Amino acid sequence: MQLMEKLGKKLVVTTELGPVKGVFAEESLAKARAYLPLDGINVHDCPMGNLRINSLAMGILIQNNLNIEAVPHFTCRDRSLLGTQADLLGAHAQGIRNILVTTGDPPKHGPYPSKAVYDYNTIELIQLIQKMNNGLDYNEKEFGGKTEFSIACTAMPTTKDPERELKRMTKKIAAGADFFQTQVVYDSAKAVKFLKEARKLGKPILIGVMPLKSVKMARFLNSSVEGIDVPEEIIARMENEGASGVEITCDFIKEIVDQVDGIHIMAMGDVKGTNSIIEFVNTLIVR
């Protein structure tokens, strides 16, 4: 059963592949083999403008070697309109069926004097993939056959302007989005309030969780990362009670699980922590 088919029928669990060092893809695959059973693995597309193996190519390797569905991220940053369509056709020919559409971090964040392409924005990229799913290219000419991509998009539950975010999600759905994967969330009360409204849009939602490594990390996220809010009571639990990031993540999941279709774990390659969260989620599925 494909990931898209599972959504709405069971609580799915996905995670991310940690950074692949240069050509050593097999090292990352070996690490990923240690994950407990998952419904999908995401692959970032050169995050923060740093050099990484092509996300589509790595997604193909994951599917061929691990028999786990891949969700490659696909940015608007790097590809021309022609290159985008060619890459999507190539990925489809190799069995990729999920694409997570994202703007992409500007090249200025990375170490290279690259120029961003941005021939299109995320809405336009969703529309393009939807056209290809109907057998049409950008110019609405038949290219031969049809692609069968499920289109994933991001959402930010703890944004300062929830109404604007919901409108943005509505636009993505109108363009052809099939499901959403949220940014990292720690505030369960804000998450539940947002999700109750977002679910009215009628598309599956996977909520993003990232186990905190330290109090320092929590404070950095609060001060430096837009859209991420770590409540002071969580920081206090870590400082005063010695609560671990995984423990806090599991408590958060328990509080929001009835409002989501899946959990997306972003543990930065921490297999042990990821597996602990998977085990916890499995207890909720059995309930």
Cβ proximity of 66 and 34 under 8 Å: no
- Distance between start and end Cα atoms, the chain: 22
pLDDT at 166 over 60: yes
pLDDT at 287: 44
Q: Cα separations (Å) of 8 from 3, 12, 65, 148?
A: 10, 9, 27, 19
Percentage of the chain with pLDDT > 70? 99
pLDDT at 224: 87
Region 15-43: mean pLDDT is 95
Choose the weakest-confidence range: 14-18, 156-160, 170-174, 224-228: 224-228
Q: How many domains does the chain have?
A: 1
CA dihedral angle for residue 39, residue 69, residue 187, residue 75, rounded to 10 degrees: -170
**Structural domain boundaries enclosing 150:** 3-286
Q: Quote the mean pLDDT of the chain.
A: 95
pLDDT tens figures, 241-273: 999 999 999 999 999 999 999 999 999 889 999
Can you say how many angstroms the Cα of residue 146 is from the centroid of all Cα atoms in its chain?
25
Band of residue 286 on the pLDDT scale cut at 50, 70, 90: low
pLDDT at 169: 98
pLDDT at 220: 93
Percentage of the chain with pLDDT > 90? 93
Question: Does the reported pTM lie above 0.85?
Answer: yes
Can you say how many angstroms the Cα of residue 140 is from the centroid of all Cα atoms in its chain?
29
CATH code of residue 61? 3.20.20.220
Band of residue 18 on the pLDDT scale cut at 50, 70, 90: confident
pLDDT at 269: 83
Residue 266: half-sphere exposure toward Cβ, Cα within 13 Å: 15
pLDDT tens figures, 124-149: 999 999 999 999 999 999 999 999 99
Band of residue 1 on the pLDDT scale cut at 50, 70, 90: confident
pLDDT at 80: 96
